[in-house]
Structure 1
């Protein structure tokens, strides 16, 4: 008897939509399910891999570029087969925030292995910034249009009227996909382990047609978003000054769209756990979490368009100053953005 093929779900969404938050919730509330995870990021340091909880049944990190352009079908097939062989219930690919979902789905379908099967495209949108993102990056409309499930995240940051307008726009772009509104990336793991079909506000999810999959031309201009973006990474063993880090997150360099990563604050009561920082569109969010592999270090990345790379690199390096123990209020500049703690 042939074993059931493991579903491979693609989790995509524009920069800052909350994909890593969704993935961490999925892993922490799996309810007995076992997930395999492939993590891809845009930049020299795979920050998203560092930010993913270690509770997955198996994880592969696909660093240094956009998965839809740097991974061939055979290589991806081998990676998926290796995860499937570990006995997972589902595999989730967290795509780079500027990846082309249609190209990634084609890669998954081309990675022919009887142990895995395409499980759908879950596309995440930031309710607070969706209208701005669509205006600045029209290709995102095409991404939403081919999704099997649309997750509208950060709905607590918008009014009821704004949310209704966003949901209306999503239905206009993809009238057949289920739409789920969530706060803080909290979504039922069953959407991933049991696939995305048959759940949601519409009768049937929309699946990519053969014509759409074979069509290399995007339906909207600028199909490959990464062509317009740059990243600057910082990976260092040293600690940060929390006051300087907070100032960088609150007032990032011109052209910066998103800043994220882990920071080491070398102060009593703050060394034991990493500070997980995210900044996008004027919103700063800080959490605390165990150190990956127990290693205390600082890893940050800034992603943007039209960045002055040298100036951004200098500004990031400027936060790598040990905190002044005499600066009693310095840590407060960082912790005032704290949304989770221990």
Structure 2
């Protein structure tokens, strides 16, 4: 199964939901991050069989053998091999190309389980205006998950649903909140016979590599072993560096009583922190990836470095108030 969708549509959340409710199925995960730090792989919990392919889009970043060697490695052992392999594409990958790579792997132990396309109900209309090529992505899907319906008014949800049906008249449309989808729907996707050939024709007639989404996007990766100043980070998020659309990662703050692991997600102007526990042996380190178009990477790195605590940083608990407004979890 291939899970695709634009930046911030909820792919990793869907994956974690699936892993937590697998019903005993053995699931292996292949995660493709756009950025030098494998944030999505870091945020996938409890799989025990995660392979991270970062620093590029899987549809163009692998070698001549495609994803075949990765898939072969996962199914090498009949006794301990997975029941399901889920490939999570980067948010700016070309899903049709990725599906073709999976089909070309040619491993007799594997059966293609379908293409799941995640759709952000809040951002989708604006996304289509900005990137019309997303229409093709929707049209290729075997299952469409209309996510974040809780954050969109009913009129918007209806309009997006109608757009999806116009672009794809066959795939089921499943509304979801926080990517919560019944795993049985994902494990039992109907793949129309011959659809693989249609996918191939769509790719052959598509625009060339320069038209791919990732050709217009850049990423900035940032790590720090020193904690961040919550007020400075919040100020950076408020003014949002020009061109940045998506920020994700883990933040460590140096404020007493708030030394938990803060998972940061932003999509457009939306900001959310989720407070979790550090895993045993996990370093208390900030790791972030920022993705956008036409961004000044050097300036962004400088702004992030300025968020690291210094002698002028506040360390009292009230310093966390700007962050706690956007935080959930215990």
**Which residue of structure 2 aligns with residue 38 of structure 1?**
30
Residue matched to 1:317: 305
1:219 & 1:190 partners in 2: Cα distance? 35
Q: Point out where structure 1 has 5 or more consecutive residues left out of the alignment.
A: 1-8, 198-203
**Partner residue of 2:263?**
276
C-alpha distance after superposition, 1:48-97 (max 9, x if no partner): 111111x1141100011110001146352221122233322211111000
Aligned-residue CA RMSD (Å): 2.1
Using the size of structure 1 for normalisation, the TM-score is 0.89
1:195 aligned residue:
188
2:250 to 262, 273, 288: 262
Check whether the contact 1:139–1:218 (CA below 8 A) recurs between aligned residues: no
Query: Are the counterparts in 1 of residues 250 and 262 from structure 2 also a CA contact under 8 Å?
Result: yes
Of the three residues 225, 236, 240, the one matched with 1:252 is: 240
2:69 to 70, 78, 81: 78
Q: Under a length normalisation based on structure 2, what TM-score does the superposition of the two structures give? A: 0.92
Measured after TM superposition, the shift of residue 177 of structure 1 is 0.3
> Which residue, out of 87, 96, 104, partners 1:102?
96
Say whether 1:333 aligns with 2:322: yes
For residues 63 and 173 of structure 2, the distance between their equivalents in structure 1, rounded to whole angstroms, comes to 31
1:316: Cα distance to partner?
1.6
Q: In 2, distance between residues paired with 1:73 and 1:300? A: 30
| Aligned mates of 1:316, 1:218 — CA distance in 2 | 38
The answer as to whether partners of 2:255 and 2:317 remain within 8 angstroms in 1 is no
Instruction: Answer whether contact 2:33 2:57 (CA < 8 A) is retained.
Output: yes
Which residue among 47, 52, 62 is the counterpart of 2:39?
47
Distance change (3 Å), C-alpha of 1:316 and 1:24: same
Q: d(CA) in 2 for partners of 1:38 and 1:10?
A: 9
Quick one: distance in 2 between partners of 1:324 and 1:290?
A: 24
Aligned positions, number: 324
Match of 2:9 among 6, 9, 17: 17
Q: Deviations over 1:157-186 (max 9, x none)?
A: 111111011000000000110000000111
Shift in Å, 1:246: 1.8
Contact 2:255/2:315 (8 A) holds in 1: no
